[in-house]
Chains A and B, each alone.
Chain A
């Protein structure tokens, strides 16, 4: 449990470092911190107004695909590959979901932890994967949305390649370090 507390302690102090440290530093440099904070915070609403339609389009399309059972279908088709790369079968649906949806892949992570135990290799691989990959499609849609970019060039192939490497490394690094 000591390690958990240290982990919490580190992330809490980092958080506080941002939330207290930055305004404190500003005040020392004679910045009118309250006025500047409010001006900065005001930008949030125009950004969300621009981003929302992209967010909505992506969330609805991914939600429909998930409800149709599409992810299970793909995971069934690709399962013969898993033995070859050394990925436990139960981790695969999460790996597949990860580039599309953070909340869905997080709930799959919780499922894996509950079902196979928090100390199992599968749980550790899945947890590592969460940190070493991103919700690529969500990030691309929203970040390009805010500036109205339609021609995304090499962004999709690069993002997916990074996810594949992040997923494979998670499997191999966990097998190497934790077994």
Chain B
């Protein structure tokens, strides 16, 4: 799926640029964005190193286990294939906590670590497991409870009540997360997406 989306974006941008007369801009975008991607990767690597360090302490001190125990019933429903004491559960918990609190920079390293640990349980490398797709569905539905970035933008522009969007964000997020979890649990059983056991 990502293959067709990628080639679609690249191919269409060239075709569209012939009509909009922006071919030069598209050509410039290739180099500009390649450079930008590397600069961004450097930035992320630094922040990621810091948060992975913090997470290692949380793990070693038993803090993550404590969190994971507290929400065990939810985790068991969402990830029935993952053993309760598997390290992936800890990373998933940290990722969700960071996401909910709007600590976007912390969420990504925890999430990537969770994916690597979920991969250890994957007996068909190269194919996503149910647990991976469920984890990503929760991530892409955004479980943000405190939209820090958006509040900052509104506050900077002098909004009367920038925090008014906390309530609206929480409600909208609940709708999108419920949709994502329901959809992921239904879609994983559809013939088109079911894991095939060869």
- Taking CB as reference atom, which chain B residue is nearest A52? B41
How distant is the Cα of A18 from the Cα of B176 in the complex, in angstroms?
A: 27
Contacts of B164 in A (CB 8 A): 124, 178
Contact between B127 and A151, CB atoms less than 8 A apart: yes
In the complex, per-residue mask of A1-29: 1 if CB is within 8 Å of any chain B CB, else 0: 00110111011001100110011011011
A141 CB, min distance to chain B CBs, angstroms: 6
Report if A82 contacts B (CB, 8 A).
no
Contact between B176 and A3, CB atoms less than 8 A apart: no
The listed residue with most B CB atoms (<10 A of its CB), out of A36, A37, A117, A127, is A127
Contacts of B106 in A (CB 8 A): 18
Say yes or no: A127-B154 contact (C-beta < 8 A), given A4-B162, A134-B139. yes
A150 CB, min distance to chain B CBs, angstroms: 5
Interface size on B, residues (CB 8 A): 110
Report if A96 contacts B (CB, 8 A).
no
- Taking CB as reference atom, which chain A residue is nearest B179? A165
Contact between B54 and A67, CB atoms less than 8 A apart: no
Contact between A61 and B10, CB atoms less than 8 A apart: yes
How distant is the Cα of A148 from the Cα of B59 in the complex, in angstroms?
A: 25
A105 CB, min distance to chain B CBs, angstroms: 10
Interface residues of A, Cβ cutoff 8 Å to B: 3-4, 6-8, 10-11, 14-15, 18-19, 22-23, 25-26, 28-29, 31, 33, 36-45, 47-48, 51-52, 55-70, 73, 106, 109-110, 113-114, 117-119, 123-124, 127-134, 136-137, 139-144, 146-159, 161-163, 165-166, 169-170, 173-174, 177-178
Q: List 28 A-B contacts (CB under 8 A).
A: A4-B151, A18-B103, A26-B58, A47-B48, A47-B52, A47-B109, A63-B33, A64-B33, A67-B26, A67-B28, A70-B12, A73-B20, A127-B150, A134-B140, A134-B142, A137-B5, A140-B136, A153-B195, A154-B187, A155-B133, A157-B187, A162-B137, A163-B140, A165-B141, A165-B180, A166-B172, A169-B176, A178-B168
Which 9 residue pairs across A and B have the least CB separation, nearest first?
A40-B56, A131-B147, A63-B33, A118-B159, A166-B176, A132-B172, A44-B49, A131-B169, A162-B141
Given contacts A56-B41, A62-B9, 19 further A-B contacts (CB under 8 A): A37-B57, A40-B52, A40-B53, A41-B49, A44-B46, A48-B48, A106-B153, A113-B159, A130-B149, A134-B139, A143-B115, A146-B115, A150-B126, A154-B188, A154-B190, A155-B136, A158-B137, A162-B141, A162-B180
